[in-house]
Amino acid sequence: MSEDDSIREPDLGRSSPVPPVEEEPSDDEDEATSSWGRASKGTGAKSLPEVDPTIVEYICGRFRARVARARQLSATPPPYGVAYRDVLRLRIIGSALAELGIGTGQGQRRYIRVVIGGRRVEVTPDHVMITLGMHPATYRSVRSRMDKVQSVYTWLGQNKHLWQDDLQRPVGPKLEHRAYEAMKALFGPNPLPTRQHIPPEPLPAGTHDALWEPCKTFLRWAGDVAALYHLQRGENLPVSPEFYDIE
């Protein structure tokens, strides 16, 4: 399908963008301190830019289930910790962009044309992000952070022989063990319980961290593991998998 092709989606029903949430402070302002980022002071929830109501209506009608899920993630009190919430939001938006065939990466289409009620409009990745509750700059920042963490998680999973049976390390819980179990819960296929759910049995290893620890904790673990094993992006650190819905 070319960028000039049209899609007709009648009777979508009116809707509104997912409300924004208070974001975890961005760590991108101080990259000079650490290549893995450092948290800064928060500024509360940012208001989202305006999107043409026709485009909002199209996106909400095309992705009803994803919009409903995104609204759940913006509820108060929050059902999940910031880190897991952000992973789910990245998956929701990433899957919607993939289904539309657009994106922000090199070589990806920057928009798709759709016709609604006889009117032709262009839907861009930014429109999708905003309608699903994330400012485009926030989406890119969060994805950059989670890419780093997921890359280290992928490396830990591929190289267990290097850290699971290291007898030369001090006795006690190892950074790699705690980080790996928490990241496995964070990125794994099994959905986590909400914070309001009281399980009848203790949560599996890593689940508590995935539910309660902020993104900066996972970034710190990722940075520490990377430093310990001399991991460098573009050299010996795997590329982070894409963030798509896990059915």
For residues 38-53, give the mean pLDDT.
70
Query: Per residue in 121-135, pLDDT tens?
Result: 999 999 999 999 999
Rounded to whole angstroms, the Cα distance separating 38 from 214 reads: 12
- Domain extents in the chain: 146-228
Query: Per residue in 177-236, pLDDT tens?
Result: 999 999 999 999 889 998 888 677 777 889 989 988 899 999 999 999 999 999 999 899
The pLDDT-based confidence of 105 (bands split at 50, 70, 90) is: confident
Counting Cα atoms < 13 Å in the Cβ hemisphere of 129 gives: 21
Reference 21, options 66, 80, 64; nearest CA is 80
Predicted local confidence at residue 154, as pLDDT:
97
Tallying the residues shown for the chain, one arrives at: 247
- Contact by Cβ (8 Å): 176, 225: yes
5: amino acid identity, one letter: D
pLDDT > 90: percent of the chain: 56
Lowest-confidence segment of 5-19, 32-46, 163-177 by average pLDDT: 32-46
Give the highest mean pLDDT range of 87-101, 102-116, 160-174. Answer: 87-101
Enumerate the H helices of the chain as residue ranges: 53-62, 64-73, 82-100, 125-131, 136-158, 175-187, 207-212, 215-228
Q: What are phi and psi of 148, to 5 degrees?
A: -60, -45
Lowest-confidence segment of 22-26, 167-171, 223-227 by average pLDDT: 167-171
